[in-house]
């Protein structure tokens, strides 16, 4: 399966859909997959804007299915909902029955079903993914998406539902109170404050993997504040063995979602350098591994490549 790139394209005009100012969740249309999990919902014209609003907190994976146009696509929608459930709020599966909700499909310009897209901040942020993926492929894809989001400092989670009902209007997102100060600082653009808050958590509990990952991400954001991407790349091209120049571009690659490029750059730097420069490059790479997560397959591959470069 080809990994889907993560990006933030320009906004798409969805203003013609769901005009209700305070939408309420309607019952799932007849024939639609049931969304009885904590992180899935059957979307209707009335609830569409609410779902878009929820994408301001964390990504929404929209799945368009049709019993008439694509028999079997309802099972695919159910598979997406089941795999999204495993993400524990990092994603919300929004299931759209094209047969009963054609206006939504028309407004989103859906060319075929089944089709899946990821919506964040009220707009699609990946290329539409046509056809049906297997549960195993969905697990891999969602895992990659979660890591890319985390690497970009996007750490919000959806509030669990009860039997598929959305959170009541005005009800606040459930946030682990341990991480709330750091996440609030990030939301306010106070990156230094976020670093300080995450550092407190790590100092108090070095085994807190989520806090350690948040700290690593916040430090990447801190190091790259105000840096000009083009100037940084030019400096790195002119000085291939300069640790500061190369690590800066690696950080920028991380924030841009180019995780493997960042790892490869630093592995190659480790292979070319020695003594203190090699140690600095290695330590920086280990920090980026922590930002992505030790269980990520890209980190596992990066560690193997780092071992080869060192020995």
- From the number of C-beta atoms within 10 Å of its C-beta (0-12, 13-18, 19+), residue 295 rates as exposed
Cα–Cα dist 87/80, whole Å: 11
Domain 1-171 fold is Glutaredoxin (3.40.30)
Weakest-pLDDT range from 169-173, 204-208, 258-262? 169-173
For the cut 90, the answer to whether the pLDDT of residue 263 exceeds it is: yes
> Which is more confident, 144 or 38?
38
Q: Extract the tokens encoding 246.
A: 């190369």
pLDDT of residue 117: 92
Tell me which CATH code domain 180-310 carries: 1.25.40
* Maximum average pLDDT range among 6-10, 177-181, 255-259, 272-276: 272-276
Q: What is the pTM of this model?
A: 0.48
pLDDT of residue 125: 79
Cα–Cα dist 230/248, whole Å: 12
Q: How confident is the model over 250-269, as a mean pLDDT?
A: 89
**Residue 172 C-beta-side C-alpha neighbours within 13 Å:** 5
Confidence category of residue 151, pLDDT binned at 50, 70, 90? low
Cα–Cα dist 182/271, whole Å: 36
- From the number of C-beta atoms within 10 Å of its C-beta (0-12, 13-18, 19+), residue 53 rates as middle
Q: Say which residues have a Cβ less than 8 Å from residue 268's Cβ, sequence separation at least 6.
A: 309
Opening angle at CA 195, ends 230 and 280, nearest 5: 60
Q: Where are the domains of the chain?
A: 1-171, 180-310
Q: How far are the Cα atoms of 118, 180, 228, 258, 281 from residue 234, in angstroms, in the given order?
A: 33, 38, 10, 18, 19
For the cut 50, the answer to whether the pLDDT of residue 14 exceeds it is: no
For the cut 70, the answer to whether the pLDDT of residue 21 exceeds it is: no
Cα–Cα dist 104/106, whole Å: 5
Q: Say which residues have a Cβ less than 8 Å from residue 306's Cβ, sequence separation at least 6.
A: 267, 270, 282, 285
pLDDT of residue 98: 93
Confidence category of residue 55, pLDDT binned at 50, 70, 90? confident
Q: How confident is the model over 121-140, as a mean pLDDT?
A: 86
Angle of the 209-223 helix axis to the 191-204 helix axis, nearest 10:
150
Pair 261, 253: CB distance under 8 Å: yes
């Amino acid at each position: 399966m080809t990994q889907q790139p993560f990006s933030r394209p320009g906004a798409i005009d969805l203003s013609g859909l769901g005009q209700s100012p305070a939408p309420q969740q309607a019952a799932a249309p007849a024939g639609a997959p049931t969304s009885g999990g904590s992180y899935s919902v059957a979307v209707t014209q009335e609830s569409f804007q609410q779902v878009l609003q929820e994408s301001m907190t964390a990504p929404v994976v929209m799945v368009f299915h049709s019993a008439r146009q694509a028999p079997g696509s309802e099972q695919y929608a159910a598979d997406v909902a089941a795999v999204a459930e495993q993400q524990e709020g990092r994603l919300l599966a929004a299931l759209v029955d094209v047969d009963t909700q054609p206006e939504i499909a028309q407004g989103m310009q859906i060319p075929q079903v089944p089709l899946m897209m990821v919506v964040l901040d009220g707009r699609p942020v990946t290329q539409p993914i046509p056809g049906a993926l297997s549960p195993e492929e969905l697990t891999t894809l969602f895992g990659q998406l979660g890591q890319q989001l985390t690497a970009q400092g996007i750490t919000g989670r959806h509030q669990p539902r009860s039997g598929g009902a959305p959170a009541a209007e005005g009800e606040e997102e459930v946030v682990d109170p341990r991480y709330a100060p750091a996440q609030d600082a990030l939301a306010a653009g106070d990156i230094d404050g976020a670093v300080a808050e995450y550092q407190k958590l790590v100092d108090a509990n070095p085994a807190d993997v989520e806090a350690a990952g948040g700290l690593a991400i916040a430090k990447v954001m801190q190091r790259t504040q105000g840096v000009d991407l083009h100037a940084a790349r030019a400096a790195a091209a002119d000085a291939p063995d300069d640790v500061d120049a190369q690590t800066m571009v690696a950080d920028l690659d991380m924030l841009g979602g180019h995780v493997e490029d960042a790892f490869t750059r630093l592995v190659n730097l480790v292979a070319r350098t020695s003594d203190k420069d090699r140690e600095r490059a290695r330590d920086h790479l280990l920090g980026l591994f922590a930002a992505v997560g030790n269980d990520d397959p890209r980190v596992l591959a990066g560690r193997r490549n780092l071992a080869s470069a060192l020995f």
